[in-house]
Amino acid sequence: MKKLIISTEAIGSILTECYRLGTGKETGGIFIGNKQVKGVITEAIPSTDFAEREEYTYYQSPEDVEQINIKLRVHQSYGRDFKGYFHWHPSGMKYLSQGDKETCKKILHSPSYAINNCLIMSIITEVKGHEDIPMFSYVVSLDSMDKVVVKEIPVKIMPKSIIEEFVECM
């Protein structure tokens, strides 16, 4: 995957979630996109009020996961599925933490995600000198030695209607 395409609507959901609590607590949610097309995100589902958010930790409680899965099942009925996560780092750290990488490894090992060794992870944080949208995106996979491989990927933002029209043509 050479580029990640994200809808303006998903970006709006992501930024709303990340800034609604102020910038002091970590938060996040999941990415949704067409099952058949890698690297295309049309929706973002923020975590619910059941998620545990602290200054340096974010944890999706079982109740949070249950609520998100209800929303995910609706998307799955329309041919969309889970593609990855977004996550706010209030500290300004734009890279995946060791905890983030460990979570990625668990997800990549889990057959229930069915993401074919390709997990999209985006860190949202404010970094001095980065005036664009404060989002840093990565494709995470496992190599043949079962080590986590993280590659930064550029993001293209487009209206959802254009993305959906493009996907229909494929």
Instruction: Report the chain's mean pLDDT, rounded to a whole number.
Output: 89
What's the pLDDT at 130? 63
What pLDDT, on the 0 to 100 scale, is given for residue 160?
Answer: 94
What pLDDT score does 60 carry? 84
Residue 167, C-beta contacts closer than 8 angstroms, at least 6 positions apart: 34, 36, 37, 40
> For the whole model, what pTM was predicted?
0.89
Angstrom distance (rounded) from CA 97 to CA 79: 32
For the segment 10-24, what is each residue's pLDDT rounded down to a tens digit?
999 998 888 876 667
Of residues 128 and 3, the one with the higher pLDDT is 3
- Report pLDDT for 8: 96
